[in-house]
Each structure stands twice: as structure tokens, then as C-alpha cells.
């Protein structure tokens, strides 16, 4: 059985989407960030960096496997089940390129924008708005070339990026709303990915 320790953040929803897409059984253990449960000893034993998500796979080859970092979890699950990540070749590296683009760019920059937009720091907010708009431009240009982020096949790259863009749509409208609305390819992709039943179910997950 797979047990996912997670919360309702963009990173926290990424493995829920993939697990729903795979149709594999799993349990969720909520880690309430507001209550600082990520610092409790039981969670630190699974995720020493005190970040969600973390995963325990009791049925992993070679014995139980404990993992943290959302990108690593997505890669592991996709490889284990042979879906949403090509096994080899150029198509595989295209997916991994855009997966790591999200991890290294979209996540940190949008996260910082969300933080500074709640502070009285116009310079910092302006900096991260500019960088977020740049990243949205990169995303829209890439999506103009194919149905999905890494080409014509839905992959873990799309799964990684989608919750972040939805969070920006819902929470950063005053900073990024006009930019988001102006990106036709991005809007098409949001509808395409967001229309998938597994994505809808994962995005609706709430503890309790």
C-alpha cells in the first residue's frame, strides 16, 4: 500500500493527481502545515527536510521505500507503473526537462510572489511579478507547440505544473490575472488538463 503524507498546497496535490491517474490504491495522511505538523518527529522520520509531500510505499521492490520531494515522487510512481513518463529516449528527457523547470522555476518564484504579495514590500513583489510573468510567457509559448507541455502526450510535467497555475489563478489574480487571461495556449491547456476526472478529484481533495 502507498501512503501519501501531504496537504492542500500545489506541491501537495501533485502526487494526488498522479495516484488518481494511475488508479492505484493509496491512503492519505494529512500534514496540517498551519499546525506545524511537518515538524513533528513522526513526519521528520519520513521527510527530514520537513516538507510535504512524502510517500511510503510498503510494496516497493526490495522492501518498504520512504521518499520526499514531489519531483522525485512523481518520477518514481510514473516509472513504477510505466505511465506518464516515457521509458527512454528524447521524449523522456523532454518530460524531465519540463518537470524540473517547474521544480526550479515555477514553484519557487510563484511561492515567493505569494509570500511577498502579502507583505508591505513593493520592490520584492514587483520583482516576483516580473519573473512570474516571464515564466507564464515561457509556458504559453511551449504550449503553442503541442497539446501538452512536453509534446502531444500528457505527462508528469503537466501534473507538476497544473496545480501551481491553478493556485496563481485563484490566489494571485490581482498580480497575474491579466497575464493569465491573455495566454491563449495556456488557457486551452488549463481546460484540457482540468477536465480530466483524476485531476478534478485530486484538486478537490480536502482533509477531514
pLDDT digits (tens, 9 = 90+) for 83-126: 999 999 999 999 999 999 999 999 999 999 888 888 878 888 88
Write down the pLDDT at residue 33: 96
Q: pTM of the prediction?
A: 0.95
Average pLDDT, the chain: 96
Write down the pLDDT at residue 156: 98
Q: Do the bridges between strand 54-57 and strand 65-68 make them parallel or antiparallel, or are there none, so unpaired?
A: antiparallel
Write down the pLDDT at residue 123: 83
Write down the pLDDT at residue 125: 86
List of domains in the chain: 2-83+198-204 (3.40.30.10), 89-196 (1.20.1050.10)
Q: What is the mean pLDDT of residues 163-176?
A: 93
Amino acid at each position: 500500500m502507498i501512503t501519501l503524507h501531504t496537504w492542500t498546497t500545489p506541491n501537495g496535490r501533485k502526487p494526488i493527481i498522479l495516484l488518481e491517474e494511475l488508479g492505484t490504491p493509496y491512503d492519505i495522511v494529512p500534514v496540517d502545515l498551519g499546525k506545524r505538523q511537518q515538524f513533528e518527529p513522526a513526519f521528520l522520520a519520513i521527510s527530514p527536510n520537513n516538507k510535504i509531500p512524502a510517500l511510503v510505499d510498503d510494496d516497493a521492490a526490495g522492501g518498504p521505500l520512504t521518499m520526499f520531494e514531489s519531483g522525485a515522487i512523481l518520477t518514481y510512481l510514473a516509472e513504477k507503473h510505466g505511465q506518464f513518463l516515457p521509458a527512454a529516449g528524447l521524449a523522456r528527457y523532454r518530460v524531465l526537462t519540463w518537470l524540473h523547470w517547474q521544480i526550479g522555476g515555477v514553484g519557487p518564484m510563484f511561492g515567493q510572489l505569494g509570500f511577498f504579495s502579502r507583505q508591505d514590500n513593493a520592490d520584492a513583489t514587483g520583482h516576483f511579478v516580473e519573473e512570474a510573468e516571464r515564466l507564464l510567457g515561457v509556458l504559453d509559448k511551449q504550449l503553442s507547440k503541442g497539446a501538452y507541455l512536453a509534446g502531444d502526450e500528457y505527462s508528469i510535467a503537466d501534473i507538476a505544473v497544473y496545480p501551481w497555475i491553478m493556485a496563481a489563478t485563484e490566489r494571485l489574480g490581482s498580480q497575474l490575472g491579466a497575464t493569465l487571461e491573455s495566454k491563449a495556449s495556456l488557457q486551452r491547456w488549463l481546460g484540457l488538463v482540468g477536465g480530466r476526472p483524476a485531476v478534478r478529484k485530486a484538486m478537490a481533495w480536502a482533509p477531514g
